[in-house]
Chain A
């Protein structure tokens, strides 16, 4: 923990942010900035050509990430970051396309797109900052809100079952899945690095407190306390059965890298299949497996 906290003190954001747009809109104590820092660190460590990395966001607090990163960055509509990223990736397969968005955006309004991109093993990375509620609009109940938690539209406590995103991702066909809390800074960074290198649909969920709304409404203390709480409540179980990852209100959080497997991506499958069926008549598109390092 101490070691990890020290790492956050290093500023890896040099040249990575649109400084003219800083200060950002996130509340003090919000974990989104931490995840962005992890992302920047991952890009730096991987020495990726930043000209070839795109960030696509939907709408919401995390949806604002696209506005701050000095990359080709797209702030799209609510829920539609993933199909936008799909179009971008397929049009320009040499790019690393990263979707950075929130739990409501990705699993609520955009849930259908999430499962279908996973099903296709679309070669994109999805980083989902899960703060258990719709924060931008004032802290409403989300598909990820744990049972009993109080939100502005579950004022007597939530009675809906919630999604466990890694479960959903694996069932749908994602080939890389990890979950951490925002305080697992180095592990988040490592997972993002792995996700960026992964060929196929990679999904990294990062749990972080919404201090202004969720935490205040549920009297869970200030940002750092809550970050710390989630961190302390977490238990690392790599390769855990993703069916066992439900999150309960203030309960234990199973984190770790759950899935990492090889499967042809949409484009690989398209090229291989159409090449087999059509032979020389097929106009090869993008890159093939063989072209890869």
Chain B
């Protein structure tokens, strides 16, 4: 993994008052993204708008594709063409992208997809908040593979985590999701963009050996294969079919075993390095509130209220939702009375908390079906109930 300083051309250094959607676009530009294929969908459209306005001044391509299927696969083409690429969408578009998210996983393509989540299912609540695509992010495409998903809780984090998403995607050669939500996407707050020389950007893992020896799926010592750019004389092949190191189709169980294990293990085995959590007052806590995205801010308000009532509450924020922090949860479970898990869905990540706790502690879901954030008092009630 080689890092370089960000290209100043894409970095809008300074303090700004931006919404989360704009901050996603700024994060992408700062990370070196120079290709954006998108399709408008509320509440993510502002990211595409911002990118289309900014990219002519930076050097790169914005193209509004005919649908989300085209958007996501244009990214895969663009990455093989040597660019860093991003798209942004919301629930229905995310569903449409799923097949080719699988192709990106199978072809091991570094790219970033931001999902500004709204309430679903179907057309649901286009303009209102949801966090209902968390499981889809992990399991949405068919077959077995692993991905990385990050959850910003503010416009500032939309910027920061988009850069992190690009860096992780290049490090592990996989698609990375920025799982924002309508509330974070549409709220305006201060966003500080540092100077380019303070931003570490992971470079693509370019192959540099003899041209005729290049194999797109031959693992390096760190378990991640090298990439090349089409047009540079490698004359390689790649496919969505199960393949060998050369990228040639091999249709049997043995090749499948190698292929699928690799796609999953390269993420799972590096989970400790990938996972970022924000923890506060966990030691000695009776209850730990686990949350992510906008809900973590609302939950924090509830935690403050609970502390005023004398309850020992810790906070654990999932900055990385996938891979899930199962080790940390397993470690905490026997030490506390309960986990309380508010999320703007009918109970998704809470299943992971339950799985990782393995019956060692109580797990309390605080569901919200979408359309608004939780009332902090509802989370407070769950906290109080959980320590009874």
Whether B233 lies near A87 (C-beta < 8 A) is no
A18 to chain B, nearest CB (A): 7
Q: Does B334 contact A (CB under 8 A)?
A: no
Q: Does B85 contact A (CB under 8 A)?
A: yes
In the docked arrangement, what's the CA distance between A84 and B37, Å? 11
Whether A87 lies near B76 (C-beta < 8 A) is yes
B62 to chain A, nearest CB (A): 9
Given A83-B70, A113-B70, A274-B56, CB of A72 within 8 Å of CB of B77: no
Highest count of chain A CB atoms <10 Å: which of B57, B59, B81: B81
Q: Does A88 contact B (CB under 8 A)?
A: yes
Interface residues of B in 106-146 (CB under 8 A from A): none
Whether A95 lies near B100 (C-beta < 8 A) is no
In the docked arrangement, what's the CA distance between A281 and B58, Å? 9
Q: Does B238 contact A (CB under 8 A)?
A: yes
In the docked arrangement, what's the CA distance between A56 and B234, Å? 15
B31 to chain A, nearest CB (A): 16
- Chain A positions within 8 Å of B37 at CB level: 83, 86-87
Whether A91 lies near B70 (C-beta < 8 A) is no
B44 to chain A, nearest CB (A): 19
Whether B231 lies near A54 (C-beta < 8 A) is yes
In the docked arrangement, what's the CA distance between A160 and B148, Å? 45
Q: Does A13 contact B (CB under 8 A)?
A: no
- Chain A positions within 8 Å of B65 at CB level: 83, 86, 116
- Chain B positions within 8 Å of A18 at CB level: 237, 248
In the docked arrangement, what's the CA distance between A66 and B236, Å? 10
Closest to A94 in B: B231
Partner of B249, one of A50, A67, A70, A89: A67
In the docked arrangement, what's the CA distance between A70 and B248, Å? 12
B15 to chain A, nearest CB (A): 23
Given A75-B240, A83-B69, A94-B231, CB of A88 within 8 Å of CB of B77: yes
Closest to B100 in A: A77
- Chain A positions within 8 Å of B76 at CB level: 76, 84, 87
Whether B67 lies near A74 (C-beta < 8 A) is no
Interface residues on A, range: 35 or more
A114 to chain B, nearest CB (A): 10
Whether A83 lies near B240 (C-beta < 8 A) is no
In the docked arrangement, what's the CA distance between A164 and B198, Å? 57
Interface residues of B in 70-98 (CB under 8 A from A): 70-71, 73-83, 85
Whether A116 lies near B63 (C-beta < 8 A) is no
Partner of B78, one of A52, A72, A88: A88
Highest count of chain A CB atoms <10 Å: which of B63, B229, B230, B249: B230
Interface residues of A in 119-145 (CB under 8 A from B): none
Interface residues of B in 123-179 (CB under 8 A from A): none
In the docked arrangement, what's the CA distance between A51 and B83, Å? 18
Q: Does B235 contact A (CB under 8 A)?
A: yes
Whether B230 lies near A86 (C-beta < 8 A) is no
Given A86-B74, A88-B80, CB of A72 within 8 Å of CB of B230: yes
Whether B236 lies near A72 (C-beta < 8 A) is yes
Say what secondary structure dominates the interface of chain A: helix
Interface residues on B, range: 35 or more
Whether A77 lies near B240 (C-beta < 8 A) is yes
A41 to chain B, nearest CB (A): 18
Q: Does A80 contact B (CB under 8 A)?
A: yes
Partner of B231, one of A72, A77, A90, A282: A72
Whether B103 lies near A72 (C-beta < 8 A) is no
Interface residues of A in 74-107 (CB under 8 A from B): 74-77, 79-80, 83-92, 94-95
Q: Does A71 contact B (CB under 8 A)?
A: yes
Whether B230 lies near A90 (C-beta < 8 A) is no
- Chain A positions within 8 Å of B22 at CB level: none
Whether B99 lies near A56 (C-beta < 8 A) is no
Highest count of chain A CB atoms <10 Å: which of B58, B63, B99, B234: B63
Closest to B228 in A: A72
Whether B237 lies near A92 (C-beta < 8 A) is no
Whether B237 lies near A87 (C-beta < 8 A) is no
Highest count of chain A CB atoms <10 Å: which of B58, B65, B75: B65
B296 to chain A, nearest CB (A): 35
A74 to chain B, nearest CB (A): 6
- Chain A positions within 8 Å of B59 at CB level: 283-285
In the docked arrangement, what's the CA distance between A97 and B268, Å? 36
Known A18-B237, A112-B67, A113-B66; further 4 A-B contacts with Cβ < 8 A? A51-B232, A85-B77, A88-B80, A282-B56
B-to-A contact residues, CB < 8 Å = 9, 35, 37, 56-61, 63, 65-67, 69-71, 73-83, 85, 99-100, 103, 229-241, 248-249
30 sample A-B contacts, Cβ–Cβ < 8 Å, listed by A number: A18-B237, A50-B235, A51-B232, A54-B230, A72-B230, A74-B77, A74-B237, A75-B238, A76-B76, A76-B103, A76-B240, A77-B103, A83-B66, A83-B74, A86-B37, A86-B70, A87-B35, A87-B73, A87-B77, A87-B80, A87-B81, A88-B80, A90-B35, A91-B79, A91-B81, A92-B230, A113-B69, A281-B56, A281-B57, A282-B57
